[in-house]
Amino acid sequence: MSANLFTNIGHILKSLRSIPAPNRRVDLTVHATVLGLIGGIHALYAHGTSTTEEITVIHKYKIVNHGSTRFMIHDEKGRHYAVNNSVWYWKWDSIEDWVKIKKGDHVTVKYYGIRSPLLGLFPNVVRTMDAV
């Protein structure tokens, strides 16, 4: 996979070199603006839908799709949550959280996002704490 990635990057760089310099700047500015807008919208979504709630874990499982794995938990209300890393919450150790969670645990979770079956979206757990 990484060989294909580097090959694709090489093709992109070659095609950028063929664009005249003034047009290249405009093209890069447009791309940077679009990426900034997408990032800003996602940051607003992540912080705007943030919720903290106490749940009881009924089941935990993995979804493997096209070589990527999503670590999931299912609560007593029938809701499913993804336990993923998050740039916006500076969260990089989600797999350790998922491993610690056991079936039947009462856990306070902080999550963001909404469930959208059409888009394959799940709320994303960014913090877990033992319930008291």
**In contact, 72 and 122? CB cutoff 8 Å:** yes
The pLDDT tens digits for 53-93 are: 999 999 999 999 888 888 999 999 999 999 988 877 788 88
Closest residue by Cα to residue 131 from 103, 107, 102: 107
pLDDT at 18: 65
Cβ contacts of residue 63 below 8 Å, gap of 6+?
69, 70, 72
pLDDT at 61: 94
The pLDDT tens digits for 95-121 are: 888 999 999 999 999 999 999 889 888
- Cα-based angle 41, 8, 12 (whole degrees, multiple of 5): 75
H or E segment at 39? helix 21-48
The DSSP symbol for 21 reads H
CATH topology for the 52-130 domain = OB fold (Dihydrolipoamide Acetyltransferase, E2P) (2.40.50)
Residue 2 has pLDDT above 50, yes or no: no
Residue 1 has pLDDT above 70, yes or no: no
Closest residue by Cα to residue 107 from 84, 129, 82: 129
Residue 127 has pLDDT above 90, yes or no: no
pLDDT at 104: 92
pLDDT at 45: 86
